[in-house]
Chain A
Amino acid sequence: DADVTQTPRNRITKTGKRIMLECSQTKGHDRMYWYRQDPGLGLRLIYYSFDVKDINKGEISDGYSVSRQAQAKFSLSLESAIPNQTALYFCATSDPLREQETQYFGPGTRLLVL
C-alpha cells in the first residue's frame, strides 16, 4: 500500500542520539498513529492524532514525542535514543467516516539503537 510511506526504512543509531522517523500519506485520512512492534509483544500504540491540532499519548509514549506537521505528515521523535527502543515502528492511518475502522499501515521502520 504505497499510500502510506515511512522514512527511513532502516536506521542504526547510538545511545543518546536524537532521531526522527517520518510518515506521509496520500489517502487523505485525518487520523494517524504510531505503533511499535516487538517480537512476542504485538503492536503497541505510542501516539495518535485525530487531526492536525489533536495529539494524544498512547500506551507507551514515554521517551517519544510526535509532530503533526500537516494532515499528510506525522513524525515520531526519539529525543535521546536508548537500546530498549530498538524495534520495528509502524505508522498507520484511518478514516472512520469514509472507510470505517480499517487502519492502513506503512511499510515500517526498523530501528537499531546501539
Chain B
Amino acid sequence: GENVEQHPSTLSVQEGDSAVIKCTYSDSASNYFPWYKQELGKRPQLIIDIRSNVGEKKDQRIAVTLNKTAKHFSLHITETQPEDSAVYFCAASINAGGSQGNLIFGKGTKLSVKP
C-alpha cells in the first residue's frame, strides 16, 4: 500500500523567512496530494492541494510543487508569520474515475515561526 514520508518533523524559522516541508510517496498511482494545517488544539484543515497533472500550485504565500518522477511533493511558505505556526500534514491518495481513494497522511511537521 501507499506510504508517505514527511520531513522534517520539526522546523523553526524566523518571521519573514521561508519554510519548506517535503514529502515522498511510494505508490506511483497516487494522483492527489493535499496539505492540512492543524493549529494547536484545533482540527486539521485543508490549506492547499495539487493533482498529478499539475507541477505547481500557488495560493498567496503558500505553494506546493510536485515531482512525479521522483515521487515527492513539497509545501513552500514564504514570508512566514507567527500565525503560520502549526503542525502541517501532507497526504496522498489515488483518485480514479470519480472514485476517491483514502488519504494516507505523513507524520506531520511542527512549524514554529519566531517573531
Contact = CB atoms under 8 A, between A and B. Distances in A.
Interface of A: 1, 31, 33, 40-45, 48, 58, 90, 94, 96-97, 101-103, 105-108
Contacts, number: 50
A94 B103 CA distance: 11
B43 A105 contact: yes
Given A40-B107, A42-B106, A48-B102, A101 B95 contact: yes
Given A42-B108, A43-B105, A103 B46 contact: yes
B9 interface: yes
A101 B93 contact: yes
B100 A108 contact: no
Interface string B35-75: 00000001111100100000000000000000000000000
